[in-house]
Structure 1
Amino acid sequence: MPDVARRDLNLLPKAHLHLHFTGSLDIPTLRELSAWEGLDETEQLIDDDPLSVPATKRGWWRFQRTYDIARHVVISERALRAVVDAAARNDAAQGSRRTEIQVDPTSYAPYVNGLVNALEIILDEAALASRRHGIQMGVIVAASRLHHPLDARTLARLSARFAGRGPGGVIGFGLSNDETEGNTVEFGPAFRIARRAGIPGVPHGGEFRGPHHIAQVIDELHPTRIGHGIHAAESPALLKRIVDAGITLEVNPASNVSLGVYPDYSKVPLRTLLDAGAQVALGADDPLLFLSGLTDQYRIAHDYLGLSDAELAELARMSIRGSFAEQADKARWLAEVDAWLAAAPESGPVLPAAGVAPVPGGLVARPSGLLVPERGLVAPPGDGGAESADAGQGVPDARNVRPGL
């Protein structure tokens, strides 16, 4: 491979604003958790390629069940802490100064004696991991569209008890899972509870559904950021509204392709959003399933969408500005982005976004630096589609909890 003059994207200071809890794991940590808990489920997650499903109800449930299999090893305080620590470690290695990880603590409450304990453990480890790895870890509590809206209100009230901008506090309130489920209007009261506590809203919207759905999310939930929002590219009027409102869109290119929203990276309409003046923060969504870390998203933007280093630097600035960090921290990180861009690029072999390089120990190094085994996650065999009675329902006994992210 020829040498190419290029700045190291792992060194580009950035913020990671769209990252799900168990989906943030790397496979070595997943295997450690499996060994700790005496489980052997990890092996059924391993295959040759990242998850790839169609953008249909059937495809979504294949994705959800795969996520649930991974979540079955997160069944103790030790495991919860390991997830947070691994997310901080992996993101710090990819230049993230601030990572805002989202979690539905309902999924983990049965294993640590309740919702409050689950959230307190996660928040405590976020503070510890921040100091340990030199990164700020904020926590977003995300309700699920698959649960009753009253459950979302419970989570909003819980979030209000722990509200805070820094590590160890709840910094945002979200709404995730299958966006074709649930009535967005009915989740409005939960977001009002969060706003009264000073917690900004960061719901998902416009990942699979179109501009009308995004407009409804804006009307009913009054978000500061929108998870995905990629289909806003189809409506100039909606895009103008988003730009005028200063709403940041959390765009996840690898996830969009893996979940069948777009056929390949070159079709992700990132350029359309940027040309309209939208604030965009790139995110990895679920690195465990898509085998694509934070830096990979910037590499995709360069290699497939033609963004220059200067444009990548501006994307990094947008992610920092869109974070809920303190202004003084943002100013420092923005200056670091300027320094990265001012430095001369170095010549060396550069892997494409989809490439891997072998390293010892049966692992491969993604361009982001994320270490994964030579095989990745795919959906389990025997998919029964959305009509399957056990779709996303977990395993028997105490682990049979409702799906969350």
Structure 2
Amino acid sequence: MSTSRHSVDGTAPRPLAALPKAHLHLHFTGSMRTSTLLELAEQHGVRLPGALSGQQMLHLSPDERGWFRFQRLYDAARACVRTPEDMRRIVIEAATDDAAEGSRRLELQVDPTSYAVHVGGITPALEIVLQAARDATALTGTEVAVIVAASRIRHPLDARTLARLAVSYAGDGPGDVIGFGLSNDERRGDTAEFAAAFAIARKAGLACVPHSGELLGPAHVAETLALLHPDRLGHGVRSSEDPRVLAGVVEAGVALEVCPASNVSLGVYADLGHVPLRRLMAAGATIALGADDPLLFGPRLLAQYASAREDQGLGDEELAALAKSSISASRARAEAKRAWHAEIDDWLAA
């Protein structure tokens, strides 16, 4: 996914790192640099699987066996995060990497349950991340806000607890909780049983951002739309397989957090060129490109835009429209969105 290819008229393409954008789909542990993971593993005496020893793009089967391998690797990485300092480091480095790639806004997703055992509970775990988000914003200039995510493999009552926790830290600025999500294997759990948790979040004004439409097809997207009333969908790419479902996504104004490297790594599509980005754009979908879990899937945010250019053939005007779409779909304040949109116009005019 090189960014150096010349455009069809022979001119050099505009630098994608200079394109202002928002990053709306990045998981806390999965955002880690490989070098950081290796240092933390050594520090805490954790033996890592060989697949985590270097930055690479995994290639898994799109079935439960492939997901099991992914989850095993993710759990191994998460086991290396033991202290408040570890957690703070992850947030600061994620923001630093995003800033270098032109991200003006990062909405980082975290399930505090996973780290609570090491820091005294889910509330201290979340507070550590929120303070780190405020510090990262000041250090990097990239606004960092937080999405609290529940897991489909745990009891729906746990999701309600996390929704209430998220609401208690809700706000619209950097270092605030701006959304509530639902992650893990889409094939697990009953979507309807999580509706109460999302109702709690929605009533408080949080963005509702469940995963749907990657491992399962358009029927799951339709179910999620009907039961959870999302503002955005984590992935949602497989809505492209049913024109009626995709039309419903567009009509409802639900943004799609499209993560091409994840789709290919999990075996949903054979290669980056087969990710249905153009089909979604043609239907009028609001799209925000994301990196999901670059620790496991390899490419970070900038590479997703490079893939849109190289593998999908998008020109700079289309890439600028994608970047604007990502900013519009964020929960950043209106004045910040206007300023970043103007910067994108400047990028395109340069």
TM beyond 0.5:
yes
| 1:301-312 map, 5 Å | 301-312=308-319
1:155 paired with 2:155, answer no
Deviation at 1:200, TM superposition (A): 1.6
Moved more, 194-203 or 110-119: 194-203
Which of the residues 274, 286, 292 maps onto 1:285?
292
| 1:4-403 map, 5 Å | 4=6, 5-41=12-48, 45-46=52-53, 49-343=56-350
- The AA in structure 1 aligned to 2:285 is A
- The AA in structure 2 aligned to 1:108 is Y
1:360 — aligned with what?
A: none
Q: How many residues align?
A: 343
User: What SS does the aligned partner of 2:214 have?
Assistant: coil
Cα deviation code 1:311-362 (max 9, x no counterpart) = 001000000000000000000000001111111xxxxxxxxxxxxxxxxxxx
Cα deviation code 1:11-63 (max 9, x no counterpart) = 11000000011100111222232344344537662258421101000000100
Cα deviation code 1:123-177 (max 9, x no counterpart) = 0110011100111001000000000000000000101110011112110000000
Q: 1:288 to 1:185 in 2, by over 3 A?
A: same
User: What SS does the aligned partner of 1:159 have?
Assistant: helix
Between 1 and 2, higher relative CO (CA 8 Å, sep ≥ 6) is seen in 1
Q: Which runs of 5+ in 2 are unaligned?
A: 7-11
Distance of 1:37 and 1:63 partners within structure 2? 22
User: What SS does the aligned partner of 2:216 have?
Assistant: coil
Distance of 2:262 and 2:288 partners within structure 1? 14
Query: Is the 8 Å Cα contact of residues 29 and 90 (structure 2) preserved in structure 1?
Result: yes
Q: Which runs of 5+ in 1 are unaligned?
A: 344-405
Deviation at 1:240, TM superposition (A): 1.3
Query: Is the 8 Å Cα contact of residues 30 and 42 (structure 1) preserved in structure 2?
Result: no
Runs of 4+ in structure 1 displaced over 6 angstroms? none
Normalised to the residue count of structure 1, the TM-score between the two structures is 0.83
Distance of 1:166 and 1:36 partners within structure 2? 34
Normalised to the residue count of structure 2, the TM-score between the two structures is 0.95
Q: 1:178 to 1:3 in 2, by over 3 A?
A: closer
Deviation at 1:241, TM superposition (A): 1.2
Distance of 1:48 and 1:240 partners within structure 2? 37
Q: 1:185 to 1:236 in 2, by over 3 A?
A: same
Query: Is the 8 Å Cα contact of residues 55 and 296 (structure 2) preserved in structure 1?
Result: no
Q: Which has a greater percent of helix?
A: 2
